[in-house]
Amino acid sequence: MVAESSMVCHECDLLVEVPRLEIRQKAYCPRCNYLLAANRPYAKRVVFAFATSGLLFLVLANAFPFLGFSAKGQERTVTLLQSVGILVTENLPLLAAVVFASIIAIPAMFLISIIYVSFSLANERSYPGTRKTLRWAVLLLPWSMAEIFLIGILVSFTKIVTIADVALGASFWSYVLFTICITVVVLHLDKRELWEHVELLRHD
Amino acid sequence: MTEVMQISAMEQGLQGCPICTSVGSAEKTHCNRCGSKLHAGWANSIQHTWAWLATSVVLYLPANFLPITYTRFLGKETESTILGGVVTLWEHGSEPIAVIIFVASVLVPLSKMLVLAWLCLSVQFGSNFLLPQKTRLYRITEFVGRWSMIDVFVVSILVALIQLGNVMTILPGVAALAFAAMVVTTMLAALAFDPRLLWVSADKGDRV
Ligand SMILES: [Zn+2]
Ligand SMILES: [Zn+2]
C-alpha cells in the first residue's frame, strides 16, 4: 500500500512523499511547484479564533447601516441585506440570489463548518457529520467572494463620488473585518493536516 | 529531482482525493476518508469542461452587448453596457478603474475561455508541448476567474445606493444576470477540468 505521508499533486498528478514539516516549512511539488502542504505556527488556534470572530463580524455587518448616499439634498442609507434585496424588487431575483450566496450565505456556511470542525478537534471527539462538514467547507471555498465584493464597493465609489457623497456605516467596517478574518482562516487552513487530525478522532 | 522518479499517480493505479488529499486506488469512485466523489470517470472531465465552456460563450454575448445598467437622470433614461461603462470611467478621468473593470469584465473571461479550450484540445491531442506552463496557466485561470464578479458587485452597489426617484436612479439590466451566470459557468468549466489529464496524456504520448 501507499505510505501515509504520500500525496498526489492536485495539479500534475505526481505521487509525492511529503516529509514531516517543521513549523513554517512548506512542501512544493517537485514537478510543477504547486504548494502541497504547509505547517504554519499555531494554525489550529488561529483558524478557530479568526473563524469565530469572522462570523461575529458578519453578524454585525448585517445589524447596522452599511452604506449611505447623499445628493441634491436627498439622503439614503441601506443595510447590507437591503442592498441585495433591491435586486429582487428590480426583477432580478436570480442575480440577488447569486450575490447573497457569494457575499453572505456561502462565507457564513464556510466559517460555521470550520468552527464546528475546530470544536471536534479541540474536544478530540468526532461530532456527528464532522467529515461531511469539512468536505463541504473545502467545496464551498471558491464560491465565497467577500474580498471581491469589497473591491467592487470601492470601484462603485469612484463612480459615485463625482455625483454624490458616500458615507461608510458601521456595518461596512464590520464587513471589512469579516473579510480580513476569513482571509486569515483560508491562509492557515492546511487540508492535509486537518484531514489527518479529523481521521484520528474517536467515534462515539 | 530526476525525471525517472517523476511518475504520475495514475500510472501506479492510484489517485489523490482533491478534497482531503488522501491517496487510494484509481478505480475507486468515492474517497475512503471523506466520501467525496473522485475523478473515476476521467473521460467525462473534458466533455463537462466543453459543455460549461459552450454555455459561458453563449452567455458572454448578452452579458457584453445588452445594457448592464439603466440610468434615469432628470426624467431621461440612458442605458450602458459593460464596455460603455469602461469608456465613461475613462472619460471622467478614472483611467486606472477603467482598466481594472476592462481587465476583470472583458479580458479575463475571454482569455479564461480561450485557455480552457486550448487545454481541452491539448489533452484530446495528447500534446506534451509547454506542459509546466500550461499547468501554471490553468492554476492562474482557476484563481483569477472569480475576480470577474467585481462588475456584478459594482452594479448591485450602484443600484442599491442611487435610488433618488426622478432625480437620479440606476436600475440593473439583464446583462448583469447574464454576466454573473457567465462567471459561474466559466468557474464550473475550470472546476470540471482535471489538470492531471494534461500530464497523463503527455506521458502516454512519450511512450508511443
Ligand atoms: Zn505537481
Ligand atoms: Zn477524500
Q: What are the structural domains, with CATH classification, of chain A? A: 1-39 (no CATH), 42-203 (1.20.140)
Beta strand ranges found along chain A (DSSP E): 6-8, 15-17, 26-28, 35-38, 67-71, 74-78, 125-126, 165-168, 202-203
Among chain B residues, the shortest Cα distance to A74 is held by: B164
- Per domain, the residue ranges of chain B are 7-40, 44-207
Query: Taking CB atoms and an 8 Å cutoff, what residues of chain B touch A192?
Result: 20-21
Multiple choice CATH, B44-207, 3.30.70, 3.30.2310, 2.30.30, 1.20.140: 1.20.140
Q: Do B157 and A153 touch (CB under 8 A)?
A: yes
Average pLDDT rounded to a whole number, residues A74-78: 88
Residue in this structure with the C-alpha cell 476521467, named with its chain if needed: B42
- Min Cα distance B103 → chain A (Å) is 13
User: Closest-CA residue in chain B for A149?
Assistant: B153
Q: How far is the CA of B186 from the centre of ligand 2 (A)?
A: 25
Please give, rounded to a whole number of angstroms, the shortest distance from the CA of B1 to a CA of chain A. 7
Nearest by CB to A148, from B138, B149, B160: name it. Answer: B149
C-alpha–C-alpha distance, residues A196 and A155, integer Å: 42
CA distance A47 to chain B (A): 17
* Contact (Cβ atoms closer than 8 angstroms) between residue A48 and residue A67: no
**Distance, CA B46 to ligand 2 centroid (Å)?**
22
SS3 A28: strand
Alpha carbons within 13 angstroms on the beta-carbon side of residue B176 total 31
pLDDT tens for A127-169 read: 888 989 999 999 999 999 999 999 999 999 888 888 888 999 9
Number of other residues whose CB lies within 10 A of the CB of residue B4: 6
ipTM of this predicted complex? 0.90
What separation in angstroms does the CA of A128 have from each of A193, A195, B37?
20, 16, 20
* Distance separating alpha carbons of residues B53 and B92, to the nearest angstrom: 35
In this prediction, the residues of chain B whose per-residue pLDDT falls under 70 are 1-5, 39-43, 201-208
Report pTM.
0.89
